[in-house]
Amino acid sequence: MTEKTTETGGSNAEDIDANRRAAIKGAVVAGLAATLPASAGNAAAQQANDVRSASNVQPTIDPRTRFPNDQPAQAQTWPGLQRDMTPRPDCGETSYCGSGRLAGRRALITGGDSDIGRAVAIAYAREGADIAINYLPQEEPDAAEVIDLIRREGRKAVAIPGDLRTEEFCRSPVARAERELGGLDILVSNAGYGWCLPDILEYPGEKFDQVVKTNLYASFWLSKAVIPVMKPGSAIVFSNSVTAFLPSEAFLGYSATKAAMVAFTCALAKQVAKRGIRVNGVAPGAIWTPMQVYFEAPVNNVKNLNALTPVGRMGQPVEMAPLYVALAEGTSSFVTGSTWSANGGRV
């Protein structure tokens, strides 16, 4: 008996020949299958399809031109509806393709009716998760669409309308999601509110209170409610913001709360690591969402928002979804306490 050995790091003629033979075999099989009917019982055609799948090359995507940058100026009253925007934001309704990365998981997503929350809900459903979404009652038309999209993927969907600005209510979506989904191992605290005004002397105290309670307190209350029911391997993902790192004079309260959320993300991750729970955040830049059309101040300018980024356009919610998937899935087991930026190059 002859023992074959291969030197690590060196060139091996036998390995090269084997690779060449495999490539030739694939080409022959593909050529043969082209002359045969591609039926389910045709082994040669099936093998050729496998070869083609293994060699598929994804097209490169130019980030500058993937989505338009010519949204017309428009305005809505708060909280705004995605269905009434022109053009409607792309949340992956027809483009996001899942691959089972979250199969068997159960997620609660706040602000899941539109924009980034909607994109995350669609992505999670197509990755195999059952989902509960929270949203304001005024956003029911958008929420109904999301619930339908989730169910069309064969996943459980739970609609939980309500305002997150009280601790009492924040306990409710967690309890209901756990009960109706049979458990809860992902929280995406995404609901947010921004008030756009560049002069603190004109900034109403009640608006500042609304910003802080929606963006910061709600995440605190939701975390307190969800951590006791989470098992090791669970994940919490917060929607932070580029304004945490590049605060805007027009978004005084919003920038302050998002900066606080970055620190909250890191500190909470350290607390719950001993429970086997990971905590991370995503910091989007300017994204085409209802938030861009309900600001009551004149500084809201769609053209300026497109010009803010080096790629020359606002982002779309579907471009954020892969980050939320990655931070929730188990293969990211060493990622915790981080905030991932997605802002078209601004930072």
Element holding 341 (H helix, E strand): strand 339-342
Is residue 135 among the annotated active site residues? no
CA distances from 92 to 95, 97, 124, 318, 321 (A): 5, 8, 11, 5, 8
The single residue of 96, 124, 193, 254 carrying the catalytic annotation is 254
Angstrom distance (rounded) from CA 273 to CA 269: 6
Please choose, from the candidates 114, 160, 133, the residue with its C-alpha nearest in 3D space to the C-alpha of residue 290.
114
Angstrom distance (rounded) from CA 250 to CA 76: 19
Angstrom distance (rounded) from CA 337 to CA 198: 31
Element holding 147 (H helix, E strand): helix 140-152
Label residue 78 exposed, middle or buried (CB < 10 Å: 0-12, 13-18, 19+): middle
Task: Please provide residue 159's backbone torsions phi and psi, each rounded to the nearest 5 degrees.
Answer: -100, 125
| Tokens 């909250």 belong to residue | 264
Give the three-class secondary structure for 37.
Answer: coil
Do residues 284 and 261 lie in contact, with contact meaning Cβ atoms separated by under 8 Å? no
CA distances from 33 to 25, 37, 42, 44, 51 (A): 12, 7, 9, 6, 11
Active site residues: 254
